[in-house]
Amino acid sequence: MMATSENEEKRSLELSGDVGFNSLPCQLVNKLVARGFCFNVLCVGQTGIGKSTLMNTLFGRTFEMEEASHYEEEVKLHSQTHELQENTVKLKLTVVHTLGFGDQVNNEHSYKPILDHLDAQFEKYLEEELKIHRSLCSYEDTRIHACLYFIAPTGHSLRALDLITMKKLESKVNVIPVVAKADVVSKNDLKILKKNIMNELLSYGVQIYQFPTEDEDVAELNSSMNTCLPFAVVGSTEDVKVGNRMVKGRLYPWGTVQVENEDHCDLVKLREMLLRVNTEDLREQTHCRHYELYRRRKLEEMGFKDTDPDSQSFSLQETYEAKRKEFFRELQHKEESMRQMFVNKVKETEAELKEKEKELHDRFEQLKRVHHEEKKHLEEKRRKLEEEMNAFNRRKVAAETLLGHALQGCSQQPLKKDKDKKNFFSLPSACSLTSGRNMN
């Protein structure tokens, strides 16, 4: 068989009979239905704006979700996955709520945890793609396919936080703005609010998700729905009686709001666009646009590129080797910097230790001198004290000697006095006897 040339046009052949490959769409549908689908929705809005209620209303069931507090210190993301089935189609639905968004005093970086979560899901998918043994068919895709951005029905336009957050999200997720709790605003005010919102988004260059109009089957419907953005929605899971039938709605003293009545709100339109018409387009846009943008940036950061300036073919091995050499150069440079930093630190520490050692030595010498002076002073005191003690002892001995002589003299003198007393008392008796004799 002769090889066909590259410039030869492909021939279209007519089949003589039924071959069977016209069943390929059915095979694909059966395979996809058996595998099931996944759809991930991110709900961004301040606490208490009705995110959980709207999701319950959209899917016709109550998802168990703890009530969020208004006192969160920072923005947190809470994810819940549910297995749903409608007829023979299985859907793995993941709903991600933002807790504490817009509740802090300083909301300057409230969008950062949301961006980090989106990038983390892209990173997980990219890691799975770059694995040697990858299994993307059975991989649980956690990338966010649609972001419902809830706008408060207060004020006349968007807040600065809303504009900044949607501008940051536009390149990472399909942003669909919705006006929450639209039943608190009159029809005229709601119309003006929606118009102001779209004008601000246009003036600030915020790109929200536009329903595709390339498919002729849904072009007219999607084109009309694009003019209804942002959707004004009201959520409710309560059954209220209107006439002779029960409907989902909210009961007020002045009447009833039917959430599935298009004259009251845009919930039916949102459900139609989100779940019945454009679900696959949202999934496709997530993969082909947002994920590819993230993937391209990451690969460029890693040093990969499709073509060089000379339009030569791309070599993965050369790129890897170049990146490897660059990595080792950076590693060596960092190692040298750390070594030099370590040497400088050691020198600084040694200088500080020497300075402290000198201070300690000077202190020691000073204390030594003080100690020597105190010792000398104490020795002088001790010497004087010993001299005083010796002098005291000499005086004591002299005093004891004098006291001994005095006591000896005192002991002899009383004996002489006693003899004199005896002689004195004996004289009168003699005198009396002599006088008696004379009288006789």
* Same domain, yes or no: 285 and 352: no
Determine, yes or no, domain membership for 52: yes
Question: What range does the domain containing 123 cover?
Answer: 29-305
Q: Label residue 256 by pLDDT band (50, 70, 90).
A: confident
Determine, yes or no, domain membership for 169: yes
- For residue 39, the SS3 value is strand
Q: Label residue 165 by pLDDT band (50, 70, 90).
A: very high
pTM to 2 decimal places: 0.69
Residue 250 has pLDDT above 70, yes or no: yes
* Same domain, yes or no: 272 and 406: no
Average per-residue pLDDT for the chain = 84
Q: Into how many domains does the chain fold?
A: 2
* pLDDT tens, residue by residue, 38-49: 999 999 998 888
* Same domain, yes or no: 256 and 206: yes
Could you say which of 305, 325, 354 is where a domain stops?
Answer: 305
* Same domain, yes or no: 293 and 351: no
* Same domain, yes or no: 159 and 230: yes
Question: Phi, psi at residue 176, to the nearest 5°?
Answer: -120, 105
Determine, yes or no, domain membership for 224: yes
DSSP 77: E
Determine, yes or no, domain membership for 437: no
* Same domain, yes or no: 279 and 352: no
Determine, yes or no, domain membership for 22: no
Q: 57 and 259 in contact (C-beta within 8 Å)?
A: yes
* pLDDT tens, residue by residue, 195-228: 999 999 999 999 999 999 988 888 899 999 999 9
Q: Label residue 433 by pLDDT band (50, 70, 90).
A: very low
* Same domain, yes or no: 297 and 389: no
Name the amino acid, one letter, at 268. V
Question: Phi, psi at residue 411, to the nearest 5°?
Answer: -75, -30
Could you say which of 262, 281, 305 is where a domain stops?
Answer: 305
Residue 435 has pLDDT above 70, yes or no: no
User: In a 10 Å sphere around its CB, with 0-12 CB exposed, 13-18 middle and 19+ buried, how is residue 310 labelled?
Assistant: exposed
pLDDT given at position 217: 86
* Same domain, yes or no: 215 and 148: yes
* Same domain, yes or no: 112 and 241: yes
Residue 417 has pLDDT above 60, yes or no: no
Strands (E), 167-259: 175-179, 231-232, 239-242, 245-252, 255-258
* Same domain, yes or no: 296 and 370: no
Could you say which of 261, 283, 305 is where a domain stops?
Answer: 305
* Same domain, yes or no: 175 and 295: yes
* Same domain, yes or no: 236 and 141: yes
* pLDDT tens, residue by residue, 1-46: 444 455 556 777 777 777 788 888 888 888 888 888 999 999 999 8
Question: Phi, psi at residue 340, to the nearest 5°?
Answer: -65, -40
